[in-house]
């Protein structure tokens, strides 16, 4: 969800159209080009992938714009080159059995990355096999 205007100059998120159909691309931990370790496709394989696929598309919009996308879509963002803030809320839904790597030595704060992996309780009125309320 975009909390501020998302523009190309502001370093908005970009997608490679159709890239989710390729499955999971081989990634490695990138601990040198960002302020925190993250998974990324290595530079030369990524450049070859980009040459063989449609050009990335900038995902722009105003505050309140929500974007839903498949976790395998190749995505990234650049630096904010504008005079404006670029604040977004990212929410990833994941089975509780598929927990990320162990907590790193200097983790980002919980308000940035929550580490509450407890499964959500599903009430009787939300069960698929429960009768619909009148």
pLDDT digits (tens, 9 = 90+) for 13-44: 999 999 999 988 888 777 666 666 677 888 89
pLDDT of residue 134: 58
pLDDT digits (tens, 9 = 90+) for 50-107: 999 999 999 999 999 999 998 889 998 888 999 999 998 888 777 777 777 677 777 7
Task: State how far the Cα of 122 lies from the Cα of 133, in Å rounded to an integer.
Answer: 16
Q: Phi and psi (nearest 5°) for 29?
A: -70, 125
pLDDT digits (tens, 9 = 90+) for 99-113: 776 777 777 788 877
Q: Across the strands, what pairs with 2?
A: 88
């Amino acid at each position: 969800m975009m909390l501020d205007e998302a523009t190309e100059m502001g370093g908005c998120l970009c997608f490679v159209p159709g890239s989710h159909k390729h499955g999971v691309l081989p990634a490695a931990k990138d601990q040198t080009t960002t302020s925190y370790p993250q998974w990324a496709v290595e530079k030369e394989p990524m450049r070859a992938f980009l040459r063989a696929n449609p050009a990335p598309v900038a995902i722009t919009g105003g505050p309140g714009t929500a974007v839903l996308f498949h976790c395998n879509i190749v995505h990234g963002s650049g630096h904010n080159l504008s005079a404006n803030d670029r604040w977004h809320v990212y929410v990833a839904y994941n089975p509780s059995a598929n927990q990320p790597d162990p907590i790193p030595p200097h983790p980002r704060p919980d308000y940035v990355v929550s580490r509450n992996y407890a499964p959500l309780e599903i009430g009787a009125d939300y069960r698929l096999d429960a009768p619909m309320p009148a």
